[in-house]
Amino acid sequence: MDLVPSPSQTIGPFFHFALTVDRALGCLAGPEAGGERIHLACRVLDGDGAPVSDAMIELWQADAQGLYNQPAFRGFGRLPTNEEGCCVFETVKPGRVSGPEGVLQAPHVNVWLFARGLVKGLCTRIYFAGDPANREDPVLALVPEDRRDTLLAHPDRENPGRWNFEIRLCSGSETVFFDI
């Protein structure tokens, strides 16, 4: 390696005025995007189960056909968490993206989580509970079976089209984070 990449540093608690006050993006899919429209509600909890109210979540996903970077589909979103540790994105359910050795990946959304106390962003993925493709997903297959549930968003019983995803930090039952 010729040059050492620049080290990561924490986003700190005071990023909002620069990154999310007028530069937030809650909607990943414009009105012209095809597919099933959903709301994706993310909630971040720390090691004591307390809401993390000073985090920033960025999402990156493929369109309903499983393609990234399409002209009619931005696929990127960025929101700060509120006092309850929550933020809600509007998007479409992603399609299946090509994976290693020709195996299709199950529909998923890629997540970067940044916050005070995180010296590097944490990377995870959101899968959709009940999707039959989850059984053959090559990335879920890398995760110990008893921890796969932490990567699933669940449909909200009271709000059709809304999926809830919890990110738990710093505990035995924490969300699976990926080394990428």
Partner 1 sequence: MDKVIPYRRPEPGSQPDYLYEPYRSTVRRAPVRPLVFLPHTLSELSGPIYGHHAIAESDSDLTRQHAGEPLGERIIVTGRVVDDRGRPVPHTLVEIWQTNAAGRYRHAKDNHPAPLDPNFSGAGRALTDAHGIYRFTTIKPGAYPWRNHPNAWRPAHIHFSLFGPAFVTRLITQMYFPGDPLLAHDPVLQSVPDEKARQRLVSGFDIQVTEPEWALGYRFDIVLRGPQATPFEE
Residues forming contacts to partner 1 in the complex (CB under 8 A) are 1-19, 23, 25, 46-48, 52, 54, 58, 60, 62, 68-69, 74-76, 78, 97-100, 102, 105, 108, 110, 112, 114-123, 125, 138-139, 142-143, 147, 169-172, 174, 176-180
Q: How far is the CB of 24 from partner 1 (least distance, A)?
A: 12
3 versus 135: smaller Cβ distance to partner 1: 3
86 versus 97: smaller Cβ distance to partner 1: 97
How far, in Å, CA of 167 to CA of 176, rounded? 9
As given in the structure block, the two tokens for residue 4 are: 């050492």
Q: How far is the CB of 81 from partner 1 (least distance, A)?
A: 13
Judge contact between 121 and 176, C-beta under 8 A: no
Q: How far is the CB of 119 from partner 1 (least distance, A)?
A: 4
22 versus 158: smaller Cβ distance to partner 1: 22
Per-residue 3-state assignment (H helix, E strand, C coil) for 64-98? CCCCCCECCECCEEEEECCCCCEEEEEEECCCCCE
Burial of 139 (0-12, 13-18, 19+ CB in 10 A): middle
Q: How far is the CB of 60 from partner 1 (least distance, A)?
A: 5
Instruction: Name every residue whose Cβ is closer than 8 Å to that of residue 17 and which is 6 or more positions away in sequence.
Output: none
